[in-house]
Each structure stands twice: as structure tokens, then as C-alpha cells.
Amino acid sequence: MGFAYKLVLSLDEDTGYENFYILDLPIKKVKQTTIAFEDQAELGRLFDADVLVKDKNAAISRRDLGPSPRKCFICDRPAKECARSRRHSVAEMQDYISELYVKNVK
């Protein structure tokens, strides 16, 4: 799905790259697109695409639209549950991400 956007800020942080775009579209449509990317694109699971709403101090969340929470890319449980309990080791997550990278990028 393509639509017009304007890149307004690009950051290279310790946690990774962050880009901020302005779009002139209904916020629900934008969030639905980001959810589809995160859930359906194999590499999309590595991204966290937030939708910030003009003149508000919060992002629109998955919960606002009703879809299920993000799943852990290792075990498919809710990702927040795995993160909170530290169910998977850092090495296990790094191995998964490395395999995904080799499979899709190299």
C-alpha cells in the first residue's frame, strides 16, 4: 500500500534508527497499515511502528483498533508477557534475529 508522506526527523539512537513522518490520512488507516506490516512482513516483526496523533500526547495503540497484541517472535505468546518475564535469553533472541536477517537480507 503506498501513500504520500514527508520525513520530518531521522535519528540514529543506541536503540536503533528512528524516523518520524507526517501523513495526511485517517489515523486508523495508518495504524492498520503499520499493524499489517509488523504482523505479516517477516522482517516487520523486528519493527515498532508507532502512530502519533497531532495535538495529542499519546500514540494510537493496537488495543484502540481491537487486534490481538504483538506476538513474541520466538514462541508466539504475547510479546509483553515474554519481555516482562524474560522468558527468552538475549542470546536466543539474537540468534533468531540473525537467522531472520540471513534468510531475508543476504
Tens-place pLDDT, residues 11-65: 999 988 999 999 989 989 999 999 999 989 989 988 888 998 888 888 898 888 8
pLDDT score recorded for residue 83: 93
> DSSP per residue over 79-99, as a string?
HHHHHHHT-S-HHHHHHHHHH
Determine the Cα–Cα distance for residues 3 and 1; give it in Å rounded to an integer.
7
Reported pTM: 0.78
| Per-residue confidence band for 1, with pLDDT thresholds at 50, 70 and 90 | low
Q: What is the pLDDT of residues 63-82, one digit of tens each?
A: 888 878 888 989 989 999 99
Helical segments of the chain, H only:
27-40, 62-65, 79-85, 90-104
- Residue closest to 51 by CA, chosen among 71, 68, 37, 72: 37
